[in-house]
Amino acid sequence: MMNSWTTPDRPGEPLADRYAHRSSTLRGAVRHRLVDRALAEHLPTARPQQVLDVGGGTGVQARMLAGRGHHVTVLDPDEAMLARARTSWPAHAHDAPGSVTFCRGFGEQAPQLVGTGWDVVLCHGVLMYLEDPAPLLRVLAQCLRPGGIISVLAYQADALAIRRGLTRDWGGALQALHSPVEDNSIGTVSRGVDRAMVLRIFAEHHLDLLQWYGVRVFTDHLEDECAGDDFDQVVQAEWEVGRIDPYRGIARHFHLIACLRS
Ligand SMILES: C[S@@+](CC[C@H](N)C(=O)[O-])C[C@H]1O[C@@H](n2cnc3c(N)ncnc32)[C@H](O)[C@@H]1O
């Protein structure tokens, strides 16, 4: 099951290293904090949730959820990403009321690898590496129990030109206005994903949208800038702007949270 993540353009320099670096920048930290805050609004708290994190990568989200008592299985085909996730987990494990386990494999094979009936299925930052995200989305819908929650984060096809323009990459901005395919900041090819297409697949599978957020309106163009003392204020500004139109429509990512009809 090849895609632009599993067949990187620069063999020899693991994507896992480039991705871990990006996650530690201001915009990486903002993204993780906003997505986690949205999940905290929608995940039931009465009992720990069984969460499947498809393409969970280095396990950042899994650790955050385990810290709030949930039990997370990270399913990912990239051994280098999983190795980072496995290495980081023990330092958090004794303080976390929840748990994280790991499974190597593609999301498209989730029912065979990790079963179905999950309370929550996450798919964050994965669809943009797939030539056709629809088959994976359909499988993810089948992994949920009735009443379960799906959370999908991907680059917005409609907003790819914004980062290019704000960084004065005029050639890139013009290209992004005409094609959803781009060379992204970790040096692999990615695609903007059509939010309407994801919503159509949700509807076909009886997934009712609970809320959608734009993730990174103000900070997306800040490249390698690190988080500063004003980080909490930055996050609050991004949180508020990411919930309202027209701003959320020009954020780097859309974040959709939906519930499987019971
Ligand atoms: C950009 S990382 C995102 C990691 C994590 N979800 C996050 O939000 O930080 C993309 C991840 O998707 C994984 N991936 C790529 N194709 C996949 C597929 N078909 N099924 C599941 N995971 C996949 C990659 O191995 C990689 O770990």
Ligand 1 centre distance from Cα of residue 189 (Å): 13
7 occurs within a structural domain: no
Q: Are 63 and 88 in contact (CB under 8 A)?
A: yes
Give residues with Cβ within 8 angstroms of 143, minimum separation 6: 52, 110, 111, 114, 115, 116, 117, 118, 121
Q: How far apart are CA 245 and CA 256, in angstroms?
A: 15
Cβ–ligand 1 distance for 102 under 6 Å, the answer no
Half-sphere exposure of 177 (CA within 13 A, CB side): 8
Span 32-61, pLDDT tens digits: 999 999 999 999 999 999 999 999 999 999
- 57 C-beta closer than 6 A to ligand 1: yes
Distance 127 CA to ligand 1 centre (A): 8
Atom 14 of ligand 1: nearest residue by CA position: 55
The whole-number average pLDDT for the span 67-72 is 97
From CA 148, how far away is CA 259, in angstroms rounded?
6
Give, using CA atoms, the residue closest to atom 4 of ligand 1: 57
If you measure from the C-alpha of residue 76 to the centroid of ligand 1, how many angstroms do you get, rounded to a whole number? 6
The answer, yes or no, to whether any atom of ligand 1 lies below 6 A from the CB of 254, is no
Q: Tell me what the mean pLDDT of segment 10-20 comes to.
A: 67
Domain assignment of residue 84, yes or no: yes
Judged against a pLDDT cut of 90, whether residue 197 lies above it is answered with yes
**Which residue segment(s) compose the domain that 104 sits in?**
15-260
- Residue 27: inside a domain: yes
In a domain, 38, yes or no: yes
% of the chain beyond a pLDDT of 70: 96
Residue 222 belongs to a domain: yes
Determine if the peptide bond prior to 97 is cis (ω within 30°): no
Whichever domain contains 163, its CATH number is 3.40.50.150
List the residue whose alpha carbon is closest to atom 11 of ligand 1. Answer: 55
Residue 8 inside a domain? The answer is no
* CA of 107, closest atom in ligand 1: 20
Q: What is the pTM of this model?
A: 0.95
Say if CB 40 and CB 120 are below 8 A apart.
Answer: no
What residues are paired with 61 via a beta bridge? none
Ligand 1, pocket-test mutation among 2, 3, 5, 137, most atoms within 8 A of CB: 5
Cβ of 54 closer than 6 Å to ligand 1, yes or no, is: yes
Distance CA 235, CA 28 (A): 11
Pair of tokens at residue 202 = 């949700």
Distance CA 133, CA 256 (A): 15
CA of 232 to the centre of ligand 1 (A): 27
Q: For residue 10, is it within any domain?
A: no
Choose the weakest-confidence range: 17-21, 25-29, 59-63, 149-153. Answer: 17-21
In a domain, 5, yes or no: no
Ligand 1 within 6 A of CB of 124: yes
Q: Tell me: pLDDT of 164 over 90.
A: yes
Domain count, the chain: 1
DSSP state of 100: E
